[in-house]
Amino acid sequence: MASISNWVRYMAHKLEYSLTLSLKKHTREKLSDRELIGIVVKNLFYGRITYLHSGKGPEMAPTMGTNENTLLVRKLPVVDTRYVFIGDAVVLKDPNETNKYLVRRLAAIEGSEMVSSDEKDEPFVLEKDQCWVVAENQEIKSKEAYDSRTFGPISMADIVGRAIYCLRTAVDHGPVSNSEFAMEEDSPILAVELDVDEMAKDHKA
């Protein structure tokens, strides 16, 4: 059972998420004030700010295992440096197959100078709204890792959420290690929306 302080913080996150979504929709579709309020209320009282994501593959081992895993992913109201941080495990659109999604660690953001271990490669600086994501498995060679080392920088807009809890098996599960600030921000959401039994039902062994 979540504490009162967690509920208060959770509702603040939910209100921010609902308002941001509604204002974005209002900008696109020119909603009336009544429609705008209706969307805010619906998201605030009936919506969730997490969803379940199934993934597999060795790229994020050992954090997420090498077999099938089920992740609880926090939806982000806006994807910029106020909401995602270096060190976060993010869910992003596959740059080569936009109907698929990857989980990778956010390693660098706009303004960062990228220097390759290969002296043949020239250093470069990430441009505005660009970021660099990497696979976590140290046993995978950089040229074989399907991450920014192979497909290059991605747009921050391609990030759809942050992985906050991982269920590898029914008895092996726990919070995903993210940046310190992100874990503090996500703790009330975990306290309210985490349902391990629901994740286990969704899990593919």
**Residues involved in catalysis:** 59, 104
Alpha-carbon distance 77 to 166, whole Å?
A: 21
Q: At which residue do the structure tokens 């700010």 appear?
A: 49
Contacts of 58 (CB under 8 A, 6+ apart): 66, 137, 139, 140
In whole angstroms, how far apart are CA 174 and each of 72, 143, 147, 160, 195? Answer: 10, 30, 24, 21, 12
Phi-psi region of 57 (alpha: psi -120 to 50; beta: other; left: phi over 0): left
Angle at which helices 33-46 and 4-29 pack, to 10 degrees?
150
Phi, psi of 122 (to 5 degrees): -75, 140
Instruction: Supply the DSSP string of 75-132, one letter for each residue.
Output: E-SS-STTT--TT-EEEEEETTEEEEEEEEEEEEETTPEE--SSTTSPPEE--TTEEE
